[in-house]
Structures are given as structure tokens and as C-alpha cells.
Structure 1
Amino acid sequence: MKLPKPRKRGDAYRIEIMLDGKRHSCTRDTARECEQWAALKLLELKSGKVQEDASVKQHYPFKQLFEKYYQEHGRYKKSKTWIYGQLKNFDQKFGGLAEMSIHDITPKHLTAWRNKRSTEVSPNTVLKELSLYSSIFSYAQKELFLIHDNPWMSISKPRKPKARNRRISDDEVNILLKAFGYTEDEQPVLPQHYVAWAFLFALETAMRRGEILSIKREHVFEKYVHLPMTKNGEERNVPLTKRARELLKLIPAENNKLVPQSENAFRLMWERTKNKVGLEDIHFHDTRHEAITRLVNQQKLPVEILAKMTGHKTIKVLVNTYYNPDVDDIADMLD
């Protein structure tokens, strides 16, 4: 393999070599020293006896680390679509930090990024992104042995906002159905009809959007739907109300996948339609809050049984986050 020529960078020289798709580089005072390092590095790599030069840290851009993390781990995770979206917009989101070496990134850099990001998105989004990027650096620390410390662990996180308690009224349900051009008890035909159908099904079952979109014909039984994989990594059987069973009968028999849409297409249609009718404040996940509250108020399900249906491992999360009765509901229970 012919060695590349060193490139002058200020008062020093830098050389890069590629082997098996992996980039290695170093900076030295002279071109000759760079060539000597490259020859030794290639020898070490080819012989399988890689020994890092403790005095010189390899230039390893943050983005390059993210790309490797995605190939090795991210694309196998349930959240792979979201992770890929983060990688796709990485340069825009991080600017100069994207190409900065992970050895040079400090908590001060990350704190400045966190503060800027907090002016652009919600605290929940910042927290979610911090968790991902911290995992990427932990991967570099504990699996690649490239760094000794994770700088993301040294910055404070935004305070987690109070859990949403948004209820969905019957009037809002009717407005959304009209916006989707769907009438209850009719077979869905168009893509927007399936979004409306999934909205109604979520209100009956407390299932998440991703869970509904994953249902195949083989998962549907007489009184329940089987979910082979859920958010917490386990399978779950979701019992069906009479109304939920009626909704399932509306899906054409030839549909192997009950809702024949990708998650992204479904999300975009949901967002655009609700915004169009002035219901920007409603999130699809609010159907889970609404369904759980209805199941307690109307079906009188005890929380320990409800937790089996919704997949909550912690009753505290179910009660404090998802069960949202108003004061009138509680007064009615007392009577």
C-alpha cells in the first residue's frame, strides 16, 4: 500500500491512512515523522497488534463516531428511524462540533450546545437527544476504548417538564374525524381514513401509535390483540372492548398489516390534518391518557389490571402520568 503524502497544517503536518474502511490519522512536527508513523501504524494494523500512541490522540470526529455507532448499534434498535433522523441532520444541529475530535470536546462545549438547543425545542426533546449522544460517547468509552471519560455525564440536564394531562373531548374527536373525511363504522379506504381509524382504536385500547401500526392479521384474536414487541422490550396481550372489536371488523380482510402505512407517512398526515383544523395542542399519544382515564371511569378497571393491559411495569407511572381524571370525575366516584 502506497503511503499518502502528509499535508501541512499551520506549523505541523497531518497524515491520514485508510484500512478496511476505517480512517486513522496523526499530527507531527515534520512530514518525515508523519510518514514514519503511517508506516508503523499500517504494520500494526495488518499484524493485528494495534497499539495506540499514548502521547498522540487520534483525530476522531464526533460525526464519524456517530456513524460508527449507528452501523454497529443504532440501526438495530427499535428507535432506529429516529436515530437515523438525528444522524441525517447532525451537521445542521451541531455545526462545528460535528467535525471536532471527540478527544477535544469538553463539558463547556456541550453546555453551550445544550443552552442553544433549549431555545429551539422542548425540554423533553433536549433530554431525549442528550440521552442518545451520551450513549454514543459511552460506546466510545466502554466498547471502543477511545476516551477515558464521557463529557456528557458532566453537564446538567434540563428539568423534566410536568407530565401532560391533556384530555380529548367528544367534540374534538368529531372535528378530527371530519377533517380526515372519515365516518365512524365505515370501512377505511383512503390513507387518511386509516389515520382516523387508528385514532379511534387508540381511544379504545390505550395502545401507542407504533404498536397499532405494527399489528398484523396474525396478531388479532377474538378478544385480544397480541403485540410481539413493545416499547419496554416485552410482548403484551391487549384485551379488547366491544367497541374495539367492532372497529377491527371494519378493516378489509385482505389487509395483512391492519394499517397499511409507514410510521413516517402516518405521522405526517396526522400532524398536518390536526394543525389544519386548529388542534395543534393534541398529540396522538394523548389518546393513551384519554383511553386509560375512560377505562377507569367507565369500565371501573382496577389499576393493577389496567397495568397489564397498558404494559406499565410501575403502577406509580400509570397513576401519576396517564390517569387524568378531572375533579368532576372524582366527585362522581365518591357518590
Structure 2
Amino acid sequence: MKIPKPRKRGETYTITVSYQNRRYYCTRDTASECEQWAALKLLELKAQTKIENGELKPKFLFRDLNTKYYQDVGQRNPSKSSREWIKGQYNNFEMKFAALAQKSIYDISPKDLTLWRNKRLTEVGENTVLKEISHYSAMFTFAQKELFLLNENPWMQITKPKKPRSRDRRIHPSEIELILKVLDYEYGRQPVLSQHFVAWGFLFAIETAMRRGEILAMEKKEIFDGHVHIPKSKNGDARNVPLSEEAKALLELIKHDGRKIIPQSENAFRLMWEKRKKAIGLNDLHFHDTRHEAITRMVRVRKLKVETLAKITGHKKIDVLVNTYYNPNAEDLIEAFNR
């Protein structure tokens, strides 16, 4: 389409562009600026027409989708832990995807994502990659079914990493002693310093099978005679956790006036735990292993039925509880068999 000539109006120039029975006007200081605007405006109008006719895809980068998903889905997620996790993915997006973040979502292919998956597996474990693939796949499904930008989800066309074997890590009494020693804590001692509360939380987790986040969120008003009430657990439901005599004794050691049992942020607690366990060479010990240890002890010592155990631990799927968290050794199985 031929670009019209600008017209001088006083000290400035104006130009009019006609496209599909509509007129668009512009005023600039020079004639060349008017011509440049007109050329770009015509290209923009033609491109928009092709988009509306389905001949051309609109420009929508992967990074734009990441922002849109975070604003529309992440920030409105009813679960605080899920919101925080999605926020972490949003903040680290550019670092994880590099040049791929600048690519249009229409041009991202299964090959691109397979190459990303392979590189990511050299940086983190299979479980992390599986969780990330699930997150970004949900993002593209959002673009497909809510924004109507895509016809298919390329994440659904790649092979996911094989889920690693569930951890069956038990905690030996000698390891408990090492943890308490490096945190300068003794049984029966009132926790005062930050490191003491980490040790206290470690012991309380072994007695109750509560998750780290649940213990850190635990408030004094949720402690009752014989049990702890968790108003909202990982699966979204409330549950009551019975207290052993050892767990009651640990709670009696809490003397401060704060609202929460452990007056410490989750990040500070985690960093203290990671730093001190590394100092004594227990890198393979995860705080979550206390849950394995506690559940196995509950079965071995208290002879709890699996249905009762599931109510205590908050598991909705019995097979996950039995196959993932109950980790008996040969002696435990022989004793149960003969009993």
C-alpha cells in the first residue's frame, strides 16, 4: 500500500493513513517522522488483520506467559505453600530457561523442551524436574484452555524422567546424638537459642510424624491435652495428631511468651539445619526423614492399624503411606510376622 504524503501544518507535519474504511492520524515534527509512523502503522494494522483471520499468530513470549500465569493463577492460589512455590518458579524463570524464555510460545517445540529437560537433569534431581515439568505444563494448559492461545501443549509430547525410588532413610540413634551435639542441645533442656529450637523441632518431628512446615506453623492455642490440632495440612484438610509422653515433655520445655511454639522463620530454620548437618557429614539426612522414622516407630512400637495411622499422618492414599513412609527392616518384619 502506498504511503500518503505528509502535510505541513504550521511548525509540524500531519499524515493520514486509511485502512479498511478507517482513518488514522499522526502529528510529528518532520515529514520523515510522519512517513516512518505511517509505514509502521500499516504493518501493524495488516498484522492485526492476519491475526484476527487466523493467518498469523500474535507475539506472545514464554516469559510473558510466565508473568500472566503468576498474576492470574499463582497469586490467587488458596494454598499459601503453593503460592510461595509458584512465586519461586516465577522469580527463577529467566535463570532456568535463558534464551528459551525469549521464544514465542507458538515456536516452542517438544525438541526444545526435551533439550531443556536433559540439561536440567544435570543440575537437579529427577523429583525436582518432574515437579517443574508439571508446573510449566500447567502453564501451557492455561494458555490453551483459558487464554485460547494454543491448540496443543508441547509439554505433553515429551518423555518425563522416571520417578526415582522412594527414600527409605531411617535415623539411627547415633545420628540423633550427633545432631543434638552440633546444635548444642540436650534432652530435657529448655530451648533458648535458634539452634536449640532446630534440635527441639527435630526431636518433636520424630515423635509426631509432623512435617517441618506444620511444626513451624504450630501455635500454642493449637496444643490441647493429648493432641495437637493442625488447622490446615499439606492436603488442605485439618487433622489431630496424638501426643506421646515424650512429645508432651518436649512441649513443656517451651517457656517463651510468643504465639508460635518455634519463634523462627522457615528459611532461618532450614538454613540452620542444612549448615549444621553438613558440618558433621550428614549430607544425606533430610529433615523429612523424621517422618519416615516416626511412622515406622508408630507401627513397630504402638502397633497402630494403617487406617488410624493415616488419620494421624494426614495421608489420603494408603498406598503412599505404606510404600513410601513405612520403612521396616528385616527384624521389624520378622517380629510382626511372629507376633
Structures share fold, TM-score greater than 0.5: yes
Deviations 1:56-100 (A, max 9, x none): 212111122112211222133422222222222211211111111
What is the aligned partner in structure 2 of residue 31 from structure 1? 40
> Are 1:275 and 2:284 counterparts?
no
Q: Distance in 2 between matches of 1:146 and 1:222?
A: 55
2:220 to 214, 217, 221: 217
Secondary structure of the 2:302 match is coil
Give the equivalent residue in structure 1 for 2:5. Answer: none
Closer/same/farther in 2, CA of residues 37 and 270 from structure 1, 3 Å limit: farther
Report the CA distance between 1:37 and its aligned residue: 5.5
Change in CA separation of 1:141 and 1:186 when aligned onto 2, cut-off 3 Å: same
- Rounded to whole Å, the distance in 2 between the matches of 1:122 and 1:36 is 48
1:319 aligns with 2:322: yes
Map of 2:10 onto structure 1: none
Q: 1:13-40 deviations in whole A, cap 9, x for unaligned?
A: xxxxxxxxxxxxxxxxx524234369x8
Match of 2:156 among 138, 147, 153: 153
Query: CA, structure 1 residues 37+236, in 2 after alignment: closer, same or farther (shift >3 Å)?
Result: farther
Deviation at 1:315, TM superposition (A): 1.4
Instruction: Please state if 1:87 is matched with 2:90.
Output: yes
**From 294, 297, 301, the counterpart of 2:297:** 294
The 1:143/1:300 distance shift into structure 2, 3 A limit, reads: same
- 2:325, 2:255 → 1: CA distance? 32
- Cα distance in 1, alignment partners of residues 284 and 230 from structure 2: 29
1:66-85 to 2 correspondence within 5 Å?
66-75=66-75, 76=77, 77=79, 78-85=81-88
1:123-174 deviation line (CA, Å, top 9, x unaligned)? 1111011111111111111111111111111111011011100000110001
**Which secondary structure does the structure 2 equivalent of 1:288 belong to?**
helix
Number of residue pairs aligned between Structure 1 and Structure 2: 296
CA distance in 1, matches of 2:87, 2:99: 20
TM-score by length of structure 2 reads 0.83
Q: Where does the alignment leave 5 or more consecutive residues of structure 1 unmatched? A: 1-29, 42-50
Residue type at the aligned position of 1:72: D
- Counterpart of 1:198 in structure 2 is 201
Shift of residue 102, structure 1, vs aligned partner: 1.0
Q: Give the C-alpha shift of residue 303 in structure 1.
A: 1.2
In structure 1, the residue matched to 2:15 is: none
Match of 2:167 among 164, 188, 205: 164
Partners of 1:52 and 1:68 lie apart in 2 by 21
Equivalent position amino acid for 2:243 in 1? L
Q: Trace 1:1-335 onto structure 2 (pairs within 5 A).
A: 31-36=40-45, 52-75=52-75, 76=77, 77=79, 78-333=81-336, 334=338
Q: CA deviation at 1:225?
A: 0.9
Q: Tell me the CA shift for residue 53 of structure 1.
A: 4.8
Partner SS state of residue 184, structure 1: coil
1:217-270 Cα distance to aligned partner (Å, 9 max, x none): 221111111111111111111111111111111122512111122222211111
Change (3 A) 1:68 1:35: closer
In structure 2, the CA distance between the partners of 1:219 and 1:53, relative to structure 1 (3 Å rule), is farther
The CA distance in 1 between the partners of 2:52 and 2:249, in whole Å, is 65
The structure with the largest alpha-carbon Rg is 2
- CA deviation digits over 1:202-229, x for unaligned, max 9? 0000011111111112211111111111
Structure 2 letter corresponding to 1:74: G
CA distance in 2, matches of 1:249, 1:209: 19
Secondary structure, aligned partner of 1:141: helix
Which secondary structure does the structure 2 equivalent of 1:59 belong to? coil
1: CA distance, partners of 2:255 / 2:192: 9
TM-score by length of 1: 0.84
Aligned counterparts of 2:276 and 2:46: Cα–Cα separation in 1? 60
SS of the aligned residue for 2:224 comes to coil
Per-residue deviation at 1:194? Answer: 1.0
| Greater mean deviation of Cα atoms: 125-134 or 179-188 | 179-188
- The SS at the match of 1:114 is helix
Change (3 A) 1:147 1:313: same
CA distance in 2, matches of 1:169, 1:35: 68
Root-mean-square deviation over aligned CA pairs: 1.7
Q: Runs of 4 or more off by more than 4 Å in structure 1?
A: none
* 3-state SS in 1 of match to 2:228: strand
Instruction: For 2:165 and 2:125, locate their aligned partners in 1 and report how far apart those are by CA, in whole Å.
Output: 12
Partners of 1:127 and 1:206 in 2: how far apart?
Answer: 25
